[in-house]
Amino acid sequence: MPTTQAPGRASVADDAAALRAEIRDLYDEVADLLDDDRVEELPNHFTDDCLYKVISRENYDQGLPAGTIFCDGIGMLRDRIVAIRETQVYEPRSWRHFISGVRIVAQDGDAICARANFLVTEAMSDADPTVFIVGRYDDILVRREGRLLFRQRLAVCDNHHVRRSLIMPL
């Protein structure tokens, strides 16, 4: 069927869809490395001046600054990973991320504000998976040398409690 849309308008819609798909792929890639026990690769997806924070909905809604995991800059993110691998003692378990509702909320210069829902299950080595943490990512992405990187990732958790421990970044 011949299109009656002007070529300019069609490509704007295509661009938005392409960007969403690119963000979707990034989110899936980061979730996969976490689920696959390759947390060392996480900093590859962040800028040096990044903010990574896991924060409860309670703190987020009240504007309180304390988080569950707080990394102010790539150094603290790398330190968190060193601690997980070298000093932390914990019962082995596996996690799995389920991400949905990936949306672009705003674009401001070269910054892209995006969000998505996440659900993470947890399974101890001798037990079945349970719903562990549910929440929303509030992200700011920037493009560096063609790649989308996180300048900010907030994982805002709907949970009132974390059951037992949160070992890995979400």
Partner 1 sequence: MPDDVIAEVHGDGAGRKDAQRRPGERAWPAEGWTRVPFWVYTDPALFDREMETFFYGPSWCYVGLDCEVPEPGSYKRSFIGQRQVIVVRTQEGGIAVLENRCAHRGSRVCWQNKGRVDSFTCPYHQWNFALDGKLQGIPLKRGALGKGGMPPDFDMSQHGLKALRVHVEGGSIWATFDPNAPSFADYCGPQILGYVRRLFGGRALRLLGYNRQLIPSNWKMYVENLKDPYHATLLHSFLITFGLWRADTQSESIPTEGGKHGIMISRNVGKKESAATSEIKRFKNKLDLIDKDSITPRREFEDGKVVGLSLFPSVVLHQQANTLGMRQIVPKGVDSFELCWTYYGYADDDDEMVRLRLRHTNLYGPSGFVAMEDGEVLVESQQGATGYGHRAAVLEMGGRETEPQDHMVTEVLIRSFYRWYREAMNL
Judged by CB under 8 A, the stretch of 11-19, 54-62, 107-115, 136-144 that binds partner 1 is 54-62
Alpha-carbon torsion, ordered 85, 44, 96, 82, to 10 deg: 10
Using rule CB under 8 A, residue 65 touches partner 1: yes
Token pair 């994982």 in the structure block, residue: 155
Q: Which string of x and - marks every residue 105-144 that binds partner 1 (by CB under 8 A)?
A: ----------------------------------------
Residue 58: which H helix or E strand, with range? helix 57-61
Pick from 30, 50, 67, 140 the residue near partner 1 by CB under 8 A: 67
Using rule CB under 8 A, residue 87 touches partner 1: yes
143-162 residues near partner 1, rule: CB under 8 A:
160-162
Using rule CB under 8 A, residue 59 touches partner 1: yes
- DSSP-assigned letter for residue 168: S
* CA 170/CA 167 separation, integer angstroms: 9
Contact between residue 104 and residue 116 where contact means Cβ atoms under 8 Å apart: no
Using rule CB under 8 A, residue 25 touches partner 1: no
| Closest approach of partner 1 to the CB of residue 160, in Å | 6
Angle CA 138–78–27, to nearest 5 = 35
As given in the structure block, the two tokens for residue 70 are 């707080």
Q: What one-character-per-residue DSSP string does 81-100 give?
A: HHHHHHT-----EEEEEEEE
Using rule CB under 8 A, residue 83 touches partner 1: yes
Where do contacts with partner 1 occur on this chain (CB under 8 A)? 54, 56, 58-59, 62, 64-70, 72-73, 75-76, 78-80, 82-83, 86-91, 160-167
